[in-house]
Structure 1
């Protein structure tokens, strides 16, 4: 019966409030995140499947950019298909066992890191391929495959802590699949690594690559294409918008740990803020996987048009 407590609380709240004003805690902890996650699932999964179909139909497999888009779409699908289970957990708690909790957390983090690294690699590839094409040519074939394997190995390593720390914990008598830290030091290390490896370093690489590329080739045809400029700007801005809330919450949690002994009152307030915003900011991280197909593939529809033109002349793009 413990798994039903949260649902009963929600039902009683609806029945007892004729003014239809819901309890803010319920709205924040379950309703808003579930709406966001549900929309991400309904839009993101078909969108990414469409990207995969379009790439297989219109692009040759030797195109490294298309390989990146293909793997990005696959990793996004891997992340998004877990959303129904997380939505179920928001209302009923985690009732699938601890092993599935660890595996599901690992799959999500692995796919998120994989998607993140693929986006970062796109920016590096665009920079090197345009300005130092002679070096990129040397990577063709085996070198590109090795690079992709390295990216996935790194993503799997980055996500490995979830296998060790993932655990089913009781939260207000409701089982929740969460990260279980053995100490504040361990918690601090994980949060710092998430912020550095999951935002600061990738975002810095993306911004540096595109800024250097724009500065060095602005007189060339690459950036005369206004659609390409908009796509590049969208990549950086979208990444920032949908990941900064997650890492702001991480930084707040880091400070709550550091201030625990010297400023306990401030630490408690930060802890409450992190607990209050946990589900909301967590759900925002899935939006990026949802809009990736529109951002990288559909926004580059000129590529598809060129491929269709090439196919009409018996060529493969």
Structure 2
């Protein structure tokens, strides 16, 4: 049950809600107003771009690329992961405008999609990094014959789904006793904080592994006389770097909010608390863009992907040109026929 003096901003948060501000009521109407306008518009744009970009990635992989390549398999699964994450955003968009109107099951399902998208993305990026690490640092080894890599996507989805159930099953629809509004939140502050700390640790540990791998690869590449085989390394590095830039601030702010929830730290005045809320909104929007950015990197860094995209666009425009020509010719014939 919500505290009687909990503000609307604190309960409208799709991921977490804050505890009471100590000693006084901290008015956050402006934060709520800004969030309810900017965030839905931003999420709507991300959904459109993500669906277009990631569906194009899947089409190109299916039509032009071999799925016997581990890199392509991981890219395909990463696109699926981004799409799953994207499918939950329209619900959050509606949530910011009208509150939670989809019921208990949808609340748990959308939380599940959020965490599956996050954890699977981190795991697939880690696997892609390890794969490139083995190819660059240990090129003569028989690591590609290892059965573990070929079945890794199945384990990633099972592991991501299992971890995501922790957040999903502990989510519930809460009714505000004052306004009667419905909110999709965690059942307790303790569970919320535990999930936040686990997500922080998971994120940090994954990027320790990536940092080690890229450090060793950079050392090997600088000693190498050819850069041809390292184009894939640049692509994966850029994807991982942008993912880190997007999610690191979000995890930091989320950690600070969890400290205030657990009363480990309290802000001295209301403006500090409001600034943290604004930072949380900004970092969340930055983090959620990751699902639509990967296809952009495939186009600008991946030469093969860019060439395949050109072929698809040329076919589309040629068909459109032929259709326009046929329609013009038909219209001309009809017009000439009407004269007699």
Q: TM-score range by the shorter chain?
A: 0.7 to 0.9
Alpha carbons of structure 1 residues 226 and 60: separation in structure 2 relative to 1, 3 Å: closer
Give the alignment partner of residue 251 of structure 1, picking from 255, 259, 268. Answer: 255
The answer to whether residue 155 in structure 2 is matched with residue 155 in structure 1 is no
Separation (CA, whole Å) in 2 of partners of 1:135 and 1:267: 60
Partner of residue 286, structure 1 = 288
- For each residue in 1:231-276, what CA deviation from the matched residue of structure 2 results, as whole angstroms up to 9, or x when unmatched? 355234312221122112122123324544xx65549877655555
Alpha carbons of structure 1 residues 148 and 236: separation in structure 2 relative to 1, 3 Å: closer
* Cα contact 1:36–1:284 (8 A) shared by 2: no
Separation (CA, whole Å) in 2 of partners of 1:188 and 1:271: 18
* Cα contact 1:210–1:232 (8 A) shared by 2: no
**Mapping 1:136-175, distance limit 5 Å:** 136-139=143-146, 142-170=147-175, 173-175=180-182
Partner of residue 220, structure 1 = 224
Separation (CA, whole Å) in 1 of partners of 2:52 and 2:215: 33
Separation (CA, whole Å) in 2 of partners of 1:221 and 1:59: 28
Q: CA RMSD in A?
A: 2.9
Alpha carbons of structure 1 residues 67 and 264: separation in structure 2 relative to 1, 3 Å: closer
Alpha carbons of structure 1 residues 231 and 175: separation in structure 2 relative to 1, 3 Å: same
Give the structure, 1 or 2, with the largest relative contact order (CA under 8 Å, sep 6 or more).
Answer: 1
Moved more, 45-54 or 110-119: 110-119
* Cα contact 2:125–2:240 (8 A) shared by 1: no
- For each residue in 1:56-113, what CA deviation from the matched residue of structure 2 results, as whole angstroms up to 9, or x when unmatched? 1111110110000011111111111222221111111111110111012112211221
Alpha carbons of structure 1 residues 264 and 65: separation in structure 2 relative to 1, 3 Å: closer
Partner of residue 311, structure 1 = none
Structure 1: which 5+ residue stretches go unaligned? 1-5, 7-22, 309-317
TM-score w.r.t. the length of structure 1 is: 0.77
Separation (CA, whole Å) in 2 of partners of 1:27 and 1:57: 46
Moved more, 103-112 or 64-73: 103-112
Separation (CA, whole Å) in 2 of partners of 1:193 and 1:68: 24
Alpha carbons of structure 1 residues 83 and 304: separation in structure 2 relative to 1, 3 Å: closer
Deviation, structure 1 residue 223:
4.1
Give the alignment partner of residue 76 of structure 1, picking from 76, 82, 93. Answer: 82
Partner of residue 129, structure 1 = 135
**Mapping 1:1-317, distance limit 5 Å:** 24-133=30-139, 134-139=141-146, 142-170=147-175, 173-181=180-188, 183-184=189-190, 186-197=191-202, 199-220=203-224, 223=227, 230-257=234-261, 259-260=263-264, 264-266=266-268, 275-295=277-297, 297-304=298-305
Separation (CA, whole Å) in 1 of partners of 2:304 and 2:173: 46
